[in-house]
Amino acid sequence: MIPIVSVVVLTYNQEGTISQTLDSIISQSVNFSIEIIIGEDASPSDNTRAICERYASVYPSIVRLLPKAPNKGMLRNYRDALIECRGKYIAVCSGDDFWNGTDSLSRRVQFLEENPSYGVVHTDYHVLYVDGGNLLEDFNKTKNIEAVTGGVECFDLLLKRNLIGALTVVMRHDVFKSCVDIDLFIEQGFLMEDYPTWLEMSRHTKIKYLDFSSATYRIAAGSISNNQNDYSKQKAFCMSVANVKLYYFNKYGGHRGVLNSINKSLYRELIHYSYNSGLMSEYRYYKLRLVWCKIKSIFQL
């Protein structure tokens, strides 16, 4: 039976969380078929793969584990998992996140089934701060984050900032396949798969925000976007975000002053990280760059 939804789960060294991730997907109450494609990326130091193998054995009609291979890196692992997807829709959930309740998938799929002009649906989410054990519910609502919803105008919103939580997304497989090229992301040296995907898809389809929290995002030291004690990785990630923005601005254009806005956002991030790391020469350099951006923006008015 061809599934309606393919759920991509990427995991690496997550033996403590992967079971909860998979259980939260398997426990969804749905009246359609699903498959789970697990991309376990050669975890070197724990039992992540053994746990995934057990789920594939217990749920052979639902769970498919990609063959064991040398470490690929996130983007290549994601690409290979997507190739295996057969569903009408694709959803994603990292091996350290989990879906909330038992109806979060059905609610998202129902919207897409009833609204064929929309290619992407996303929601609010909770944030679990692992180190302190604190749970922040309804992150977007709590932080007054502007919802990305609508047509091509979503592109300008996203060009300022990634405002879509990947763990909440369900997207149409055919739309994704027609406009997104993960190999291009790899060639461009992007360090993330989600942000360029939303930017590209926003130019080809409508996006809908549903106002409920469908998933929980774990934040712990060590993730690529949360390397709290590694300035070089923080800087690399910030630079990659800026490169994604510049690539899509050059491809599709954008609102007036967007290039200056991209630079200001980058410099603010690097000022924060360099100061916290005690790298005062870099801190002063990016402070000066930010001042120049502000002066430049005055003359753009």
Residues 257-269: tens digit of each pLDDT: 788 888 889 999 9
**248 part of a folded domain:** yes
CA angle 77, 90, 234 (to 5 degrees): 45
Q: How confident is the model at residue 224 (pLDDT cuts 50, 70, 90)?
A: very low
Give the mean model confidence (pLDDT) for residues 245-257.
Answer: 87
Residue 258: predicted pLDDT: 80
**124 and 250 co-located in one domain:** no
**175 and 88 co-located in one domain:** yes
**167 and 260 co-located in one domain:** no
**192 and 240 co-located in one domain:** no
Residues in CB range of 189: below 8 A, 6 or more apart:
240, 243
pLDDT score of 180 more than 70: yes
**157 and 118 co-located in one domain:** yes
Decide which of 185, 219, 253 is a domain's last residue.
Answer: 219
Give the mean model confidence (pLDDT) for residues 163-171.
Answer: 97
Decide which of 219, 244, 270 is a domain's last residue.
Answer: 219
**252 part of a folded domain:** yes
Residue 119: predicted pLDDT: 98
**215 and 90 co-located in one domain:** yes
Q: How confident is the model at residue 227 (pLDDT cuts 50, 70, 90)?
A: low
**225 part of a folded domain:** no
**120 part of a folded domain:** yes
Q: How confident is the model at residue 1 (pLDDT cuts 50, 70, 90)?
A: confident
Token pair of 301 as six digits: 């008015």
**55 part of a folded domain:** yes
**104 and 253 co-located in one domain:** no
Distance (Å, rounded) from C-alpha 297 to C-alpha 67? Answer: 52
State the residue for tokens 């291009």. Answer: 184
pLDDT score of 225 more than 70: no
**86 part of a folded domain:** yes
- The answer to whether the Cα torsion of 218, 222, 227, 228 is positive or negative is positive
Look up the CATH number of the domain holding residue 90. 3.90.550.10
**79 and 187 co-located in one domain:** yes
pLDDT score of 139 more than 70: yes
HSE-up of residue 30 (Cα within 13 Å, Cβ side): 19
Domain that holds residue 257: 231-300
Give the mean model confidence (pLDDT) for residues 110-123.
Answer: 98
**267 and 129 co-located in one domain:** no
**269 and 290 co-located in one domain:** yes
pLDDT score of 274 more than 90: yes
- Pairing mode of beta strands 206-219, 118-129: parallel
Decide which of 219, 241, 269 is a domain's last residue.
Answer: 219
**159 and 179 co-located in one domain:** yes
Residue 80: count of CB within 10 angstroms of its CB: 18
Token pair of 251 as six digits: 């491809």
- For the ranges 6-15, 154-163, 222-231, 270-279, the lowest mean pLDDT is seen at 222-231
**224 part of a folded domain:** no
How many domains is the chain partitioned into structurally? 2
Kindly state the percentage of the chain with pLDDT values over 70. 95
Give the mean model confidence (pLDDT) for residues 285-300.
Answer: 76
pLDDT score of 121 more than 70: yes
**128 and 269 co-located in one domain:** no
Q: At what angle do helices 194-202 and 231-252 cross, to 10 degrees?
A: 10
pLDDT score of 300 more than 60: no
